[in-house]
Amino acid sequence: MNEYEFELTFKLPQGDDPDQYFAALEKSCSDAIVGTGQTGYMAFDFTRESSSAYDAIVSAVADIKKVIPKASLTEATPDFVGLTDVADLLGFSRQYMRKLMVKSGTEFPSPIHEGKSSLWHLSNILIWLKENNKYEIEDTLIDIANINKKFNLVKELNQVNDDIQDNIRELIAS
């Protein structure tokens, strides 16, 4: 069994008061810190033991959905990161992460958004660092970041009309 640390954010059904769920969530998600921030959302900071990252996330989502069946997952983290996030996570400086990115050129993982604040999938950077720069990175961190990426991608893909998915796949394939 491994220990996985991750956060799940859910949108509550319209008009639901999160306070009504805390007692039941305390029982079903005893390995999570449950919080509210933005109105209509709840976040769950888990430290869950499981045989795999996938099983940890699936069981956590199932536990939440037992209590709040109509809640919808909005994000699984860690996944979307900037260079500063990666640097903080690994104990590097932001400048060092930027140096690694610039020095590696097109070998560095492509961002999912490039701009003033570029974003990457954390798992892509962690795998690249481990394979190309021989950094010691915990497998459980790579696993949970990779599974979170998949959950977030599937969540977004559900918003794409089935009729155009195949056409888009053909256009963007490399």
pLDDT recorded at residue 170: 81
The CATH number that applies at residue 66 is 3.30.70.100
The rounded distance, in Å, linking the Cα atoms of 72 and 65 is 9
Q: Which residue has the higher pLDDT, 37 or 115?
A: 115
pLDDT-derived band of residue 128, with 50, 70 and 90 as boundaries? very high
Judge if 84 and 125 occupy the same domain.
Answer: yes
For CA atoms 38, 6, 156, 101, give the dihedral sign: positive
Closest CA to 146 of 124, 131, 120, 118: 124
Mean pLDDT, range 104-130, rounded to an integer: 94
pLDDT recorded at residue 59: 97
86 burial level (CB within 10 Å; 0-12, 13-18, 19+)? buried
pLDDT-derived band of residue 101, with 50, 70 and 90 as boundaries? very high
Write out pLDDT tens, residues 51-98. Answer: 999 999 999 999 999 999 999 999 999 999 999 999 999 999 999 999
The rounded distance, in Å, linking the Cα atoms of 19 and 39 is 12
Judge if 130 and 64 occupy the same domain.
Answer: no
20 inside domain: yes
Whether the pLDDT of residue 37 is over 80: the answer is no
165 inside domain: no
The CATH number that applies at residue 105 is 1.10.10
Q: What's the mean pLDDT when you consider all of the chain? A: 92
Mean pLDDT, range 90-114, rounded to an integer: 94
Write out pLDDT tens, residues 142-174. Answer: 999 999 999 999 999 888 777 787 788 788 876
Please, are residues 118 and 82 in contact by the beta-carbon 8 Å criterion?
yes
pLDDT recorded at residue 174: 62
Judge if 6 and 71 occupy the same domain.
Answer: yes
Mean pLDDT, range 20-40, rounded to an integer: 91
**Cα separation of the two ends of the chain:** 38
Residue type, 7: E
Mean pLDDT, range 35-59, rounded to an integer: 94
Query: Which uninterrupted H or E stretch holds 106?
Result: none
Name the domain count of the chain: 2
Measuring CA to CA, how many Å separate 29 from each of 26, 45, 67, 127?
A: 5, 10, 10, 30
Judge if 55 and 73 occupy the same domain.
Answer: yes
pLDDT-derived band of residue 30, with 50, 70 and 90 as boundaries? very high
Please, are residues 132 and 104 in contact by the beta-carbon 8 Å criterion?
yes
pLDDT-derived band of residue 17, with 50, 70 and 90 as boundaries? confident
Judge if 25 and 86 occupy the same domain.
Answer: no
